[in-house]
Amino acid sequence: MNSRLFSIIRKEFIQIFRDKRTLALILVIPIMQLFLLGYAATNDVRNVPLAVFDQSNSPEARALLDAYRAADYFSVAYTAHSEAEIQSLIETGKARAALLIPPDYPVRLSEGNAQVMFILDGSDPSVAATSLSAAQLIGQNHATAILSQKVSRSGQNLKLQPPVSVSTTVWYNPDLISAHFMIPGVIGMILYAITAILTASAIVRERERGTIEQLIVTPIRSWELVIGKVLPYTILALFDTLEVLLVGNWWFGVPIRGSMLLIMVVSAIFLLSGLGVGLFASTIANTQQEAMLTVWMTLLPAIFLSGFFFPLEAMPQVLQWVSYLMPLRYYLSIIRVLLLKGVGISSILPDLIALTAFGIFIMGAAALRFRKRLD
């Protein structure tokens, strides 16, 4: 092995392990992020607090309420006694939804045209959207149940059934658990952020502390310096990947259905982009702070336009095009597929090619810009 390269790598590792605080951050932050996003960044709507104003006070109304209780989307949190009370409960945020049952509910029900009112707090659209469809579904099911009861009571012996029924099966993530979707995203984000920020600041630190002046006058070549600086952080980042995968699997039950080797290889290819961005930032920045901010500027668009939080399909066409420039986009789609579906290399090939091309392009451009000089 090239001994100069080896010396740089060893020196870098000594420095990493001597700076215990940074090392701890590198190892602990991914786990913190994992837990934070695994729990917080979820679209699963459970136990929306529901206020009920039952003006009929009838067994029929209680049956309807039971239907709402049975599905765990809502929990009946308040029993209100006036519309004004409902309004104040929703305004103060104590209840996110309200169900109003009119006094004539049993009468109208027997006539076959009962109506109840469902009020939703729309200030959080994603909660409201899920609650709305849940409320409608529960209502419909209840109505169907009443109807079929009625029919059977009227002595007709036919079982009432809707003419068409759609039977749904969800593959790969049957319970639609957000964590299974988020955790691959966390891996991608952490790989990108850690490699880019650490690489940039490791190189800029040499400039900031003046040590670059000694490095320059040694026979070290630019590429040796680049690889020697970048490789230790690659290894750390791959370690982080493994860490997040295993903790995600053990704690959140995120499946790892694809080949572990393939996952690590794809992650290593993705790292090229993060390292390249870090290297590029280091050629622009003069201080570690500048380097950090430069990386941040690329980090936010990368996260928002990668389909990490928001579905790409919902974005305006222009942003969808821009998203094709984000390496994180390809990595996320690959890693989600690999973890949840467990497919082989052939079905991820187009994304993998794009990811590799971006990695080589970014790394190459940054390496060309990188000069082992003071000016």
Partner 1 sequence: MILARELKKTFGNVQAVDGMNLQIAPGEIYGLVGADGAGKTTTLRLLCGALQADSGSVTVGGADVRTQTEEARAQIGYLSQRFSMYEDLTVLENIRFFAEVRGLSSRDWLPRSMEILEFVGLAAFQNRSAGQLSGGMKQKLGLASALVSRPRILLLDEPTTGVDPVTRQDFWQLIIQLVSQGQVSVLISTPYMDEAARCHRIGFMKQGKLVAEGTPGQLRTLLDGQILELRGTPLTEIRHLAERTQGVEDVQAFGDRLHLRVEANQALEVISRLETAIPASGGVLTSLRSLPPTLEDVFIALSR
- Which residues bind to partner 1, rule: CB under 8 A? 3-4, 6-8, 11, 14-15, 18-19, 209-221, 373-375
Residue 115 or 211 having the CB closest to partner 1: 211
Q: Are 232 and 16 in contact (CB under 8 A)?
A: yes
Residue 20 or 159 having the CB closest to partner 1: 20
Q: Are 42 and 179 in contact (CB under 8 A)?
A: yes
Residue 9 or 285 having the CB closest to partner 1: 9
Reported as half-sphere exposure (CB side, CA atoms, 13 A), residue 37 has a value of: 21
**Min dist. Cβ of residue 34 to partner 1 (A):** 30
Q: Let me know the angle formed at the C-alpha of 339 by 320 and 190, rounded to the nearest 5 degrees.
A: 65
Can you tell me whether residue 2 is helix, strand or coil?
Answer: coil
Q: Are 59 and 53 in contact (CB under 8 A)?
A: no
State the distance between the two ends of the chain, measured CA to CA, in whole angstroms: 31
**Min dist. Cβ of residue 373 to partner 1 (A):** 6
**Min dist. Cβ of residue 200 to partner 1 (A):** 18
Residue 229 or 336 having the CB closest to partner 1: 229
Residue 170 or 217 having the CB closest to partner 1: 217
Give Cβ neighbours of residue 30 (< 8 Å, ≥ 6 apart). Answer: 186, 190, 194, 240, 243, 244
Going by DSSP bridges, is the β-strand pair 97-101/117-120 parallel, antiparallel, or unpaired? Answer: antiparallel
Residue 81 or 209 having the CB closest to partner 1: 209
Which strands form 74-79's sheet, in the order they lie side by side? 74-79, 48-54, 97-101, 117-120
Residue 17 or 39 having the CB closest to partner 1: 17
**Min dist. Cβ of residue 24 to partner 1 (A):** 16
**Min dist. Cβ of residue 216 to partner 1 (A):** 5
Residue 102: C-alpha distances to residues 88, 117, 145, 157 (Å)? 19, 8, 20, 32
Q: Where are the beta strands (DSSP E) in 113-241?
A: 117-120
**Min dist. Cβ of residue 370 to partner 1 (A):** 15
Residue 166 or 374 having the CB closest to partner 1: 374
**Min dist. Cβ of residue 224 to partner 1 (A):** 8
d(CA 208, CA 170): 54
For 77, the enclosing helix (H) or strand (E) is: strand 74-79
**Min dist. Cβ of residue 287 to partner 1 (A):** 15
Give Cβ neighbours of residue 25 (< 8 Å, ≥ 6 apart). Answer: none
